[in-house]
Amino acid sequence: MTILYIVVRTIFDILSFAVIIDSVLSFVLPPFHPVRSFMDRLVQPMLAPFRRIIPPIGGLDLSPIALLLLIQLVETLVLRLL
């Protein structure tokens, strides 16, 4: 494996973990907690397009799942190009 392959994979993994952590924190921390605010500023710009398309089902937001699937798809395509 090349260094570039490892770096790209690590970036996509960190991005995926950020989405997961933001989703979990939304259940645990209040909206104005500093950690949650930081994670929201990091992840919300990526989630916004999905939230416009995918409506909540029974009060459950499924946009993080769609974003994670897209991240995995883009990661696979980029890594195959390398």
Reported as a single tens digit per residue, the pLDDT across 34-64 is 999 999 999 999 999 999 999 989 889 999 9
Structural domain containing residue 7: 3-81
For the chain, the domain total comes to 1
Give the global pTM.
0.88
Of 59, 2, 47, 1, nearest to 20 by C-alpha is 47
Q: Which long-range contacts (CB under 8 A, 24 or more apart) does 20-24 make?
A: 20/64, 20/68, 22/64, 23/64
Q: Which amino acid is at 17?
A: F
